[in-house]
Structure 1
Amino acid sequence: MIKRELGVFLTVGSLTVLFDFLTYRGLVWTGWFSVDIAKALGFLTGTLFAYFANRIWTFGHLEHAPGSVWRFALLYTITLSANVLVNAGCLALFSAISIAIQAAFLIATGVSAALNFLGMKLFVFKAIPLSEKS
């Protein structure tokens, strides 16, 4: 079961990253926001999609589970912070290379993706024992 969940999570994650990246790059390109704010907005763009796609498709929760929204919001607050901090740290570390933005984005995304999967599996959409379903 975890192999299927991980495979679907990676697909959902890929789509979420696409939303994130396009928003981030678009906002940086327009100059409307600082890099950090653009990164945060890009991350948040995929959040709604990620919640519903992971809830229904990845973890099979067709109905709303009480508490899942606040747990998801807490998890995403934590992983958003990690994502933005890792991105900023990598930008500082890689400032001399031409692909600093791309490298920082990929590393920040990898860190937050790993945290998100574990958090969703173990905290947000954890399996409900049969004894609690009735």
Structure 2
Amino acid sequence: MPVELPFDDEEASTDVDLKTQLVRFVATGAGSAVLDLGLTLLLQYVFGASSTVAKAFGFILGTTVAYLINRRWTFRAEPSIARFIAVVLLYAVTFSVNVGLYSWLSHLWDETFLFSAIAFVIAQGVATVINFVVQRAVIFKIR
């Protein structure tokens, strides 16, 4: 029997098991990461923006899209002011980690498309782990 991915929308809530939330979070994150990477590399290599500026804009686009989808689908949470404040604080931390790591790695290595992509994956991976743990354990438990 084939493995079924838990993508159905009906059971989504903070009470959904970890596996379902993780699959949804990763699916959402993958799409958002494509937007982030695309804008980052476009700004950096087509428009000549610095790695820090390019990554900052890419992060803002990808993170905003990811949050909106995760709130509605992964965690099925209603909007709240307390949650919004918590998200702003979390995203300030993950922004610093993500952009800081990307910029640091970009300065360590030759600034080529390949090394930029590797730096992106590392920075994105670290920020994603922080983001999921805090969203699951804290933010989407807030009423």
Q: Per residue, is there more helix in 1 or in 2?
A: 1
Q: Deviations over 1:13-72 (max 9, x none)?
A: 0011011011101111233521101001000012221121111111121x2134111111
Match among 45, 49, 59 for residue 61 of structure 2: 45
The CA deviation at 1:96 is 8.2
What residue in structure 1 maps to residue 75 of structure 2? 59
Task: Provide the C-alpha distance between the structure 2 equivalents of 1:96 and 1:30, rounded to a whole number of angstroms.
Answer: 14
TM-score (norm 1): 0.86
Q: Does 1:90 align with 2:97?
A: no
| TM-score, with structure 2 as normaliser | 0.81
Q: 4+ residue runs of structure 1 moved beyond 3 angstroms?
A: none
CA RMSD of aligned residues (A): 1.9
Number of residue pairs matched? 127
1:110 is the counterpart of 2:125: yes
Q: Which runs of 5+ in 2 are unaligned?
A: 1-16
Q: Structure 2 residue aligned with 1:31, among 42, 47, 51?
A: 47
Distance change in 2, residues 1:94/1:32 (3 Å): closer
Identity of aligned residues (%): 31
Shift, 1:10, TM fit: 0.1
Query: Match of 1:99, SS?
Result: helix
Q: State the 1:127 CA deviation.
A: 6.2
CA distance in 2, matches of 1:36, 1:95: 15
Q: 1:29 to 1:64 in 2, by over 3 A?
A: same
